[in-house]
Chain A
């Protein structure tokens, strides 16, 4: 089992709709979780951090965490063409001196 797993997509969503990205992780005691956005040819950019169960909202982005299910998700409301990118889920693994492990990424395309 991979330490962090994401559906690689591609995920295609019409402009204005909600995009939903999902991630599962293997280390049950992990405490910190992140979403990064990576445009083609660019470096990953941190967009959300979440540490507690429940929802965390920042503008059009909402991160959701369920530690019991070892599941973290990212919702993008009112999707814009500029949201088209690869979204990477990352987890600080407690087992392993908090190494930061990334999922494979989900490629998201917003269609105008």
Chain B
């Protein structure tokens, strides 16, 4: 059953705490996207990787967010320190880069609440 796996599914944390979200992409996929979804902003692209290299993280607040791919089976998104405005659903998606484009498949998401 090929699917993107995200953990945790839900996270409630206090303002100022570090939050780490994890994503296991579909085996064989070489592109990983991180999105944040809120009612007001919709799906915002935070960062994405191809062959584990970061290609674009311009959508991410650099002072508190960081994204990494320590290996091909794991992508992480960290927030430190977390703030109430970070409350959202964070999605990871993976795809196989090929001409003319990349179809992305989404994980179940991590629902983050910062209080």
Contacts and interface: CB of A to CB of B under 8 A. Distances in A.
Interface of A: 31-34, 42-46, 49, 51, 88, 90, 92, 96-105
Interface residues of B, number: 23
Given A32-B101, A43-B91, A99 B106 contact: no
Given A31-B100, A97-B55, A88 B106 contact: no
B56 A99 contact: yes
B101 to A, nearest CB: 3
Interface of B: 33, 35, 42-43, 45, 48, 50, 55-56, 91, 93, 95, 97, 100-109
A98 B102 contact: yes
B42 A97 contact: no
Contacts of B104: 34, 46, 90, 100
